[in-house]
Structure 1
Amino acid sequence: MAETGTGLECIVKLGGSAVTDKNTLETPRLDAIRAAADIISQVRGRYIVVHGAGSFGHFQAREHGVVWGYRDKETAAEVQTVKLGFCRTRQSVTKLLHLITEEFVGRGIPAVGVSPLSSWVTDDASVVKADTDNIRDMLLEGFVPVMHGDAVLDRRRGCTILSGDTIIKHLCGVFHPPRVVFLTDVAGIYDRPPEQPAGAQLIPEIQVDQDGKLHVSIATSSQAHDVTGGIALKLKSAVDIVTESNGRTCVMVCGIQSGTAVRACVEGQLPKGTGTIVQLNMCKHPDEVT
């Protein structure tokens, strides 16, 4: 059931690759976390922050097959391996949550860490239960909920991985914010992986039809240990947010340490050529500036 009256202005996603070194186990990018804190400290109004796990959790989840759960395992030892992997994944992701909320609170932001495990449940990786009442109450009381990708219980698999992007998509269906801002380690969405030597080009705008069809060609890739699907799933989440809101919610993607990030989060503006906006085809974006 849709929530009303919260006045949620924006959901901010801190990408796992932006706030951690995704190739090195449990290595935060403290400069990026501080940049995020600086951005959020300038925000006025009601916001939700969701961060990816990056190198906190992905390695453990991949090693133990947490995303696929344990219900199909043939031996007790195999089940135990997945369950211990579940626990180790959670230990890791909550370390990063603590680092981020500690930095936020130190900047005077009333940030409250919220782990999905306690109140979110999936069925074959689809969200079937999510307690958003406590999120609503935090927003109304002036707190900033900080959520994260998490290992959660799953009715069919036993357990699985709930990505931060899936969390955001669900929250958008409940709170209907006018925009979602993805803060990443690159300037936006490119026509191919930006690390490729061929010369990737930033895509300033992605038009999406109501059926989810894109009007651009994008080649994607995902690192081997990324259990949440990499940029392909993130792009799908952005498309779903735009289409399911009938264009009422737009998605902005920009670099976490750019001046554009401040404008996107604080002012709701994305100057042309400084990031990527995903919007419904034939809908003029209200915050576009030249």
Structure 2
Amino acid sequence: MENNLIFVKLGGSLITEKSAPYTINYDAIRRIVKEIKEAIDAKQDLNLLIGHGGGSFPHPIAQSFRTIEGFIQTNSVRGFALCQNAASTLNRIVVDLLLDYGVDAVSIQPTACCIAENGEISDFFIKPIEASINNDITPIVFGDCVFDTIRGCTVVSTEQILTYLSKYIRPSRVLIFELVGGVYTADPQKDKKAKLIPEITVENFSTVESYLGGSYSVDVTGGMLKKVKELLKIAKRGIECEILSGQSGNIKKALKGERGLGTIIKPITLFN
């Protein structure tokens, strides 16, 4: 859609304290929003679609009620409602901060416009997102619980949403900012010997998958392995993706065009 459009994802563990329910990492999120605003001001033709994870807001509820599995028990409907409320509460905080820093952002609630089929997005009403971008407004999506034609309900990750949208709203790049600096051979927060994998391709993915087989950073949406699998789908459309740390300065650097700050998922060259 726009060759100056970048999809950005802010990891839930980056903007919340994932071990403490309903706890925002305000120092991190204020710094991140400031960097986003500075990048937009420095590059006037830059368009962003921003997504964020749920972190310590919806994840504990989704785990407790097994929301990703569907309406499977008597309290599943209650769990769905609580999970959606928690996800949208975090989204409201993120949008409020973006507005406070001068970014013209608008919330796009997946529950209201997205339908899944057996855990995968099957339909998404994208016209409001397209209208936002065309009018220089930054749409903010988020990992959310949605209705599912097979399970009744499920949980879709931000990566699933970005993968689906990339079919119709083509970005130049996809940047996934996380607490860790990319994809590693083991969990870098637990294993000092973990090494950064600088590049993932279709060819080396089976090796990478073996490192992630015991998967670190697992949450209700599948953790790092599921994240990489989703980004490979985008790469197969000829779009470069990168997973990198949301540490100070990185967001601004990446939005200005710097590459190789984390793990690049190489795009497959498309021939017409």
Q: TM-score, normalised by structure 2?
A: 0.90
Q: Which residue of 1 aligns with 2:254?
A: 264
Q: 1:35 touches 1:257 (CA, 8 Å); kept in 2? A: no
Helix, strand or coil for the counterpart of 1:183? strand
1:162 to 135, 156, 159: 156
Amino acid at match of 1:257: Q
Q: In the alignment, which of 12, 29, 32 is matched to residue 8 of structure 2?
A: 12
**Which residue pairs with 1:227 in the alignment?**
220
CA-to-partner distance for each residue in 1:32-68, whole Å, 9 max, x for gaps?
2112211221223211000000111011011111111
State the SS of the aligned residue for 1:117. helix
Distance 1:197 1:152 in 2: 35
Segments of structure 2 that go 5 or more residues without pairing to the other structure are: none
Please say if 1:49 is aligned against 2:50.
yes
Find 1:34's aligned residue among 27, 30, 38.
Answer: 30
What secondary structure does 2:175 align onto?
Answer: strand
How many angstroms apart in 1 are the aligned matches of 2:22 and 2:148?
A: 25
Task: Indicate the percent of aligned positions where both proteins have the same amino acid.
Answer: 29
CA contact (8 A) 1:208 1:215 kept: no
| Distance in 2 (alpha carbons) for counterparts of 1:139 and 1:7 | 12
Q: State the partner residue of 1:279.
A: 266
The aligned residue for residue 207 of structure 1 is 201
The alpha carbon displacement at 1:222 in A equals: 4.2
CA distance in structure 1 between the partners assigned to 2:31 and 2:85 by the alignment: 25
Q: Matched residues in 1 for 2:130 and 2:229: separation?
A: 26
Q: Which residue of 1 aligns with 2:129?
A: 135
In structure 1, what residue type is equivalent to 2:265?
V
Contact 1:66 1:160 (8 Å CA) reproduced: yes
SS at 1:264 equivalent: helix
Using the size of structure 1 for normalisation, the TM-score is 0.85
AA matched with 1:18: L
Aligned with residue 176 of structure 2, among 163, 182, 196 = 182
What SS does structure 1 have at the residue aligned with 2:6? strand
**Structure 1 stretches of at least 4 aligned residues deviating more than 4 Å after TM superposition:** 214-217
Q: Aligned in 2, Cα 1:122/1:10: closer, same or farther, shift over 3 Å?
A: same
Q: For residue 67 of structure 1, what is the aligned residue in structure 2?
A: 68
Partner AA of 2:266 in structure 1: Q
> Where does 1:82-93 land on structure 2 (aligned, <5 Å)?
82-93=76-87
1:58-116: per-residue Cα shift (whole Å, max 9, x none)?
A: 1101111111111xx4xxxx33x000000110111111111111110000000101110
Q: Give the aligned residue type for 2:109.
A: S
Q: CA deviation at 1:235?
A: 1.0
What is aligned with 1:237? 230
* Cα deviation, residue 215, structure 1: 5.6
Q: Aligned partners of 2:192 and 2:95: how far apart in 1?
A: 39
Match of 2:167, SS? helix
Instruction: Point out where structure 1 has 5 or more consecutive residues left out of the alignment.
Output: 284-290
Q: Secondary structure at the residue paired with 1:170? A: helix
- Secondary structure of 1:196's match? coil
| Aligned length in residues | 262
